């Protein structure tokens, strides 16, 4: 379950220090959790998020609807989906999509990150009764997402190839032809993030 756990965790970093932004954008997300790295492609528009990750044996697709408090976990090869509450998502990382997230920043100063000028912050994040501490790097000028997050346990998330632009609302709906799943096997297979649990 290690790789998959990092994928739903991927979801967590999208808005970072820019949680109030409502721009539409796409990006490649990489998360390293307990020594395992996962990668996902993220598309987001306000409080709606689409995440696609590829493991060795399967593709996972998650649609997060913060406007409705639910997530749809899709199994493309089976043509089925499962609906879960957003509160059921793994929380190895803070969920930056959450509009109620609170971030307290202490500015560390400017740093170069992969050749790009950034502002580094020490941050304390409060969310759903949990507290996360770590460092956040934001681009100068800012993008809709942070470029890097690193917590005090060495867990790391990075964002690459961030492109701001309009997205079709259809991306954030269950595709035609999918049926609701009622098997616990799918729940176990798809509720963890990338880096944790994909085989």
Number of other residues whose CB lies within 10 A of the CB of residue 186: 17
Domains belonging to the chain, first-starting first, are: 2-190 (2.50.20.10)
Segments in the chain below pLDDT 50: 1-21, 187-199
pTM given for the model: 0.78
Number of other residues whose CB lies within 10 A of the CB of residue 40: 26
- In angstroms, rounded to a whole number, what is the distance separating the alpha carbons of residues 31 and 164? 21
Write out pLDDT tens, residues 97-142: 666 778 899 999 999 998 899 999 999 988 777 888 999 999 999 8
By percentage, how much of the chain surpasses pLDDT 70? 75
pLDDT at residue 37, rounded to an integer: 86
Write out pLDDT tens, residues 26-36: 999 888 888 88
């Amino acid at each position: 379950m290690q790789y998959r756990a990092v994928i739903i965790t991927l979801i967590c970093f999208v808005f970072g220090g820019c949680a109030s932004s409502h721009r539409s954008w796409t990006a490649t997300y990489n998360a390293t959790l307990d020594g395992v790295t996962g990668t996902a492609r993220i598309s987001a528009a306000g409080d709606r998020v689409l995440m696609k990750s590829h493991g060795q044996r399967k593709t996972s697709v998650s649609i997060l609807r913060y406007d409705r408090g639910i997530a749809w976990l899709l199994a493309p090869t089976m043509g089925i989906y499962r609906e879960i509450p957003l509160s059921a998502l793994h929380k190895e990382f803070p969920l930056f999509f959450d509009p109620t997230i609170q971030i307290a920043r202490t500015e560390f100063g400017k740093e170069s990150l992969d050749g790009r000028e950034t502002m580094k912050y020490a941050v304390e994040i409060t969310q759903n009764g949990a507290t996360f501490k770590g460092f956040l790097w934001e681009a100068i000028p800012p993008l809709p997402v942070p470029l890097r997050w690193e917590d005090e346990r060495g867990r790391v998330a990075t964002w690459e190839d961030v492109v701001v632009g309009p997205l079709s609302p259809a991306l954030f709906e269950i595709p035609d032809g999918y049926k609701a799943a009622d098997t616990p096997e799918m729940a176990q297979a798809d509720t963890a993030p990338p880096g944790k649990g994909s085989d």
